[in-house]
């Protein structure tokens, strides 16, 4: 079962988005990270650029997997809520409050599903930046 904090995060879409924003920090700062950690030609002997790229590669993979897991978990949880509300709605078609709650959960589900597309764009951008810096500097021989 999901951790209690993850469950609360899934229930509140604003909290869900804030969690993803914080978790995307590594992707937001990748250019700065690469520019400050990969050596220029004059400092090439003082920093192990291959190791730096390898560590950043691993950090990106872990961050991307972690975010994907949370997004998919919240989608599954919210899908179950929508399913339950639909079943309740079948039994009580005149319940306006139930209909309103169902619509809210359906909207939240669509927004969470759209985060998978956002995640794909963020991940692609990060990998392109990583690969361009690490391959151009002839650092990435094998990760």
pLDDT tens, the chain, 143 aa long:
344 455 578 999 999 999 999 999 999 898 888 877 776 655 556 667 788 888 989 999 999 999 999 999 999 999 999 999 999 999 988 889 999 999 999 999 999 999 999 999 999 999 999 998 887 554 444 44
> With contact defined as beta carbons under 8 Å apart, do 139 and 49 qualify?
yes
Distance CA 16, CA 23 (A): 11
Residue found under tokens 């306006």: 96
Helix, strand and coil in the chain, % to nearest 5: 85, 0, 15
**pLDDT score for 143:** 45
Q: What b/e readout covers 38-77, taking b as 16+ CB neighbours within 10 angstroms?
A: beeeeeeeeeebbebbbebbeebeebbeebeebbebbbeb
Q: What is the pTM (predicted TM-score) of this model? A: 0.81
pLDDT of 12 reads 92
Give the length of the chain: 143
Q: Rounded to whole angstroms, how far apart are CA atoms 74 and 113?
A: 9
């Amino acid at each position: 079962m999901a951790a209690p904090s993850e469950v609360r995060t899934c229930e509140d879409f604003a909290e869900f988005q804030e969690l993803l924003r914080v978790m995307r920090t590594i992707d937001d700062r990748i250019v700065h990270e690469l520019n400050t950690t990969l050596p220029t030609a004059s400092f090439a002997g003082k920093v192990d650029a291959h190791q730096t790229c390898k560590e950043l590669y691993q950090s990106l993979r872990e961050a991307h997997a972690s975010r994907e897991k949370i997004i998919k978990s919240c989608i599954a949880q919210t899908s179950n809520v929508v399913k339950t509300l639909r079943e309740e709605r079948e039994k009580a078609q005149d319940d306006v409050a139930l209909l309103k709650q169902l619509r809210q959960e359906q909207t939240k589900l669509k927004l969470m599903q759209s985060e998978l597309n956002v995640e794909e764009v963020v991940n692609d951008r990060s990998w392109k930046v990583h690969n361009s810096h690490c391959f151009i500097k002839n650092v990435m021989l094998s990760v």
